[in-house]
A and B are shown apart, each in its own frame.
Chain A
């Protein structure tokens, strides 16, 4: 039985006798010496990960201008920061994009720029108050000019990520990068056996208050992150650290093509090897950490899982998906993850980094719920016109003209002569064209002028699907029919255009 305390390990850091091992080396040590031997031998295991972590940003305090301003809106290099807190405090989010340059520049670039010592253009507006009379502010600041610049990331260091593939026949652009059609590539993320949370899956040492390596600085774990989902193996962390102590080497702005801006964050967590159980956990290998291959072409929250793979499979360069051998590539950097684990190891060995005891545990049971949607995407039946006039295909054009004029509408579904099924559609425009030619024997009954290549919808189709049909076939209304082709109503593009705007936005 090996039992150590964090205090004992910190004592060894102080006297220089501590034995620190990066997590990828620990795999061999545990398999050679066993968990007990490894626990005796090794005091600290260092982990590391370097990947795109969208849920990142920084609180900034700009100091007070003279005359003072209560900033209501604030832009840093034309990227808006959230200023809805006290007068000169703001939160700059990594994925916020530039008002001027759009997706090619965003909050992440401003943060990287600040860390690199760049001068940042600051613009703020306010309505002005008695105590903060100023309404407009323009200035230029560097990181040194800020009172505080505190990185605070609500969700970082996911235990593992899905592997993204695309089964459709068109290219798609995602937060996992570009996915080529027909399983053209598989994109993954995560550092496998170096990943911090994979080395302490029961959060025995990693908890609230744990001191960590964060982008080159010493930071802390605040608690579990948003969407923390330990039961499914998707635990994550909320972390904080001083931006002023960070280095660009471990913090980099990135752009995912046609998706947007994100920030690559480097995190390393030291795990004190207090006993054999912890030693055994840090011995986890790439082959033992599995994740799901998920088809990202499905436009739904519940995307189909195609198979399970291990990080050893992913690192091999190809995985089998169906009968196809698919090339894998990582969006996160294993090279940098190793560098972080190594850098953290060195600073512990030099006596610059001491371990902290967690003040509270992370939850092992939190569940990640889907969004409660009080307003679903409406169905055709929710917005269709139910009282629709129809005419049989043998009715005359004059009949149609009368019905259209009396009813004050523009679309008239045409049924078979027995009235049972919809066979065509006539618009006010078709009728007026025909009326202009009246006397011309070609046009007498509706059958002569109706549109026959009929596109229809059903009551239970969502309105975005109906809208896409209208767009594709270039029509402005669709008859709503049941399974037998009987008319139930009519849906018009005007009625759904307001909803469509929102649906398109959500797809983005």
Chain B
């Protein structure tokens, strides 16, 4: 069994309450940090731990905290990104729903390190019931003195607020999130300046993912060096993986970074293999925006080494033969899956979620969806494959925020690895079964 540091207590009855959470060792990191450590020492432990952002980009958290500007007399903020909307990703929900105090504890300890008197947890609109759970936990924490004035009798005071978003994927992009938090339309900002210098209300701000902040708790408790012993190379610690698709046991798993992809998919401890005895066809390893990999490349790198669940191994081979760990949204597809239809679903999503600020993404995402619709309708030509390829290349890297890439990469990867499926449909040798859309539509109408 791999070690678990984040959700090891998820099956303990009533772990969502402060009483049970505390009885199981909760809030120890706050005690340790506030009573025995200087804020910079906490940051140093996070640096030593090698923790990387769990929201998708994998940026070293200690380094991000180190960039935070600290001008005299200016407020600093910690903002928790709980907008989790990337298709295939649902780990933050699990953590907040089951063990809300793990996030709140992390918020307090992290805010102490950053010198933030106020922090915000921005939760996606569709998670309104999760917001209630987190709010109830915050109220408990205030009542017990973990939040508010002079926590544990120290000079450190802290307020933590929950803000529910309107349900837009783009508000997960950190600067769009800040705009939304300020009460404006959630459009990504043009960078620089970066949030570390001018974030929320123009003040220095750190934006971190739910899981990143929760991971600060075990790091402070066990020490950064101990934490860094878990994992391989620059992929340290544990990671929550949202496993979905054609597997026997979908769900949220905490893994030690460094296990093989094969173990993750086929072992009983995790996904339990492909359901109905089918064969593995492809995986999307890190949320819908990362490149899809066919089975062979999912299990072994182009160099012939076993593919590991680490930032480096999954990225091995670049986009030609590799992918990304991303947010850990692990989608498994069996041999019966139509890659083209899957791509259509993803593209429709990115089209729907584009904020519309910059021309390549605003116009290009819709165009790609329309062309993919032709494949579903059986009216596509072979030249449409080249056109799709060309459009994605015209979006990638030319936009304000990475949603442009998120929309372009899945298209590029699907064509790169599964071009024959597009061609077969274009040549009318195969058709996409779209009957379930009719069923869905009927359900929606009913």
Please say whether chains A and B are actual partners in one complex.
Answer: no
Q: Which residues of A contact B (CB under 8 A)?
A: none
Residues of B in contact with A (beta carbons under 8 Å apart): none
